[in-house]
């Protein structure tokens, strides 16, 4: 038995319960494991050692260019659908289970009455702009919108496309480069929803005869654009290496609310998992770090705790204004986005943190499911971005998005990557659907 006066976290090996002690004498034996901490402050957050400054600049001047869609008839194989789940009645069972878990639209209406929402000043077009002042949307309105958007998302997950709808930019014996439409999953996921990976596998096949052995990287369901799939094991290994070691360059094109200034710039905000609104992301601030540390201490679910323990990751996005236009009567900006790092929802959170959320973003846009302004306070946004898209402007654009059914205006336009077998630099490009 040892005695020591310390500040520490003591974790019981029997019940996995964490005890926090500050400047207290503890006796501990083999029943306890002890972890030291610095500055008498426990954060429970794993540190990430990575610097974006160390990334080499890649030269793609001699890249072989492939722009637009091609005829891939000669590469098609003739067989039935690759995934049984596409015609499996279990897919319907999963939907019913989801409905029983999250509730139907009638259940949501009873839980969040529409009458209450309609009496909100925002719903009655009485939203005012407070320049230089802090303004927060009522939490009841945000909760209502979050629940309704979750229900709508459940209904549209798993949009299926056919071979005839598949758009291919490039194909050879080792890789397939497809142009994914918005609203389609890149990979089936644990619920085996229909995805573009299924269609690519069904159309062209692969060496391993497994659809999961074709997946190299992913785009969000609502994001459209260039996606690469591997057809051989060698291609899969090398493509994973290229993405892991950041030997690729990606350029996205987006429409954002308002007039973005300056014309070129860089966003360098670290991102963390939002402890208040999981699984969404947010900009990391000292205050959010302290709150997240307390959440980690209290969490009992091992899976959630592992996710929330991850420290904020450095993120860097470069942007360049392409043009200024209008959406309805509202000013918008077409912008090119180059992610130097590749974090979850990085581009969407960074645009929201600039005060110019991406049009059609149901997570980080107006009344989105995630934290407003990417997690930054309104007072901070007004100070660092005085020309931000005002709340009334975002409201008008959101109303038109709902009316016209506009998808998320974010498109993976260009991908520069070496060929996984020949190592020849290649560039793939497709035009955005907006």
Q: Which two structure tokens, joined as six digits, stand for 101?
A: 């878990």
198, 179, 176, 202: which is closest to 188 by C-alpha?
Answer: 198
Report CA Rg, the chain: 24
Helix (H, G, I), strand (E, B) or coil at 225: strand
Chain centroid, CA 267 distance in Å = 16
Q: How far apart (Å, rounded) are the C-alpha atoms in residues 312 and 27?
A: 34
- For the residues of 243-299, what is the DSSP string, one character each? HHTT--EEEEEEEEES--SSSEEEE---EEE-SSSTT-EEE--HHHHHHHHHHHHH-
* Catalytic annotation, residues: 220
Q: How far apart (Å, rounded) are the C-alpha atoms in residues 55 and 259?
A: 31
Q: How far apart (Å, rounded) are the C-alpha atoms in residues 9 and 21?
A: 6
Q: How far apart (Å, rounded) are the C-alpha atoms in residues 313 and 320?
A: 23
205, 196, 189, 191: which is closest to 159 by C-alpha?
Answer: 196
424 burial type by CB count under 10 A (0-12 exposed, 13-18 middle, 19+ buried): exposed
Helix (H, G, I), strand (E, B) or coil at 104: coil
- Name the CA dihedral angle for 141, 144, 150, 155, rounded to a multiple of 10 degrees: -120
Residues contacting 428, CB < 8 A, separation 6+: 66, 67, 169, 170, 177, 226, 228, 414, 415, 417
Beta-carbon neighbour count of residue 206 at 10 Å? Answer: 22
Q: How far apart (Å, rounded) are the C-alpha atoms in residues 331 and 333?
A: 7
Helix (H, G, I), strand (E, B) or coil at 106: helix
Q: How far apart (Å, rounded) are the C-alpha atoms in residues 311 and 273?
A: 9
Question: What does the angle CA 112 – CA 117 – CA 122 come to, to the nearest 5 degrees?
Answer: 145
Q: How far apart (Å, rounded) are the C-alpha atoms in residues 68 and 424?
A: 20
Using an 8 Å Cβ cutoff, are 166 and 178 in contact? yes
Q: How far apart (Å, rounded) are the C-alpha atoms in residues 215 and 101?
A: 30
């Amino acid at each position: 038995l040892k005695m020591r006066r310390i500040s520490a976290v003591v974790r019981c090996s029997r019940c996995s319960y964490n005890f926090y002690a500050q400047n207290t004498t503890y006796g501990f034996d083999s029943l306890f494991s002890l972890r030291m901490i610095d500055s008498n402050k426990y954060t429970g957050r794993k540190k990430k050692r990575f610097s974006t400054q160390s990334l080499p600049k890649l030269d793609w001047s001699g890249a072989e260019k492939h722009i637009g869609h091609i005829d891939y008839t000669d590469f098609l194989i003739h067989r039935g659908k690759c995934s049984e789940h596409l015609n499996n009645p279990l897919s319907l069972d999963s939907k019913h289970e989801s409905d029983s878990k999250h509730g139907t639209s009638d259940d949501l209406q009873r839980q969040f009455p529409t009458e209450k929402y309609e009496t909100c000043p925002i719903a009655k077009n009485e939203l005012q702009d407070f320049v230089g002042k802090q303004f927060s949307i009522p939490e009841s309105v945000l909760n209502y919108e979050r629940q309704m958007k979750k229900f709508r998302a459940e209904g549209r997950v798993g949009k299926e496309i056919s071979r005839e709808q598949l758009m291919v930019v490039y194909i050879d014996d080792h890789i397939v480069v497809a142009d994914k439409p918005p609203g389609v999953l890149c990979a089936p996921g644990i619920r085996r929803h229909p995805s573009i990976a299924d269609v690519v596998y069904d159309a062209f096949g692969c060496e391993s005869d497994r659809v999961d052995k074709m997946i190299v990287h992913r785009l969000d369901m609502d994001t459209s654009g260039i996606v690469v799939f591997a057809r051989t094991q060698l291609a899969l290994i090398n493509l994973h290496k290229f993405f892991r070691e950041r030997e690729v360059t990606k350029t996205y094109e987006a429409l954002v609310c308002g007039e973005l200034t300056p014309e070129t710039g860089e966003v360098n905000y670290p991102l963390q998992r939002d402890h208040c609104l999981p699984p969404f992301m947010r900009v990391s601030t000292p205050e959010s770090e302290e709150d997240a540390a307390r959440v980690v201490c209290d969490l009992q679910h091992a899976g959630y705790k592992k996710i929330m323990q991850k420290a904020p990751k450095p993120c860097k996005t470069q942007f360049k204004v392409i043009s200024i236009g209008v959406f309805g009567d509202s000013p918008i900006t077409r912008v090119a986005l180059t992610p130097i790092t590749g974090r979850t929802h990085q581009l969407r959170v960074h645009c929201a943190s600039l005060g110019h959320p991406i049009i059609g973003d149901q997570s980080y846009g107006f009344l989105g499911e995630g934290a407003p302004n990417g997690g930054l306070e309104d007072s901070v946004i007004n100070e660092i971005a005085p020309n931000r898209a005002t709340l009334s402007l975002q409201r008008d654009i959101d109303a038109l998005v709902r009316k016209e059914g506009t998808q998320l205006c974010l498109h993976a336009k260009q991908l520069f990557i070496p060929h996984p077998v020949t190592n020849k630099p290649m560039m793939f490009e497709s035009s955005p659907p907006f």
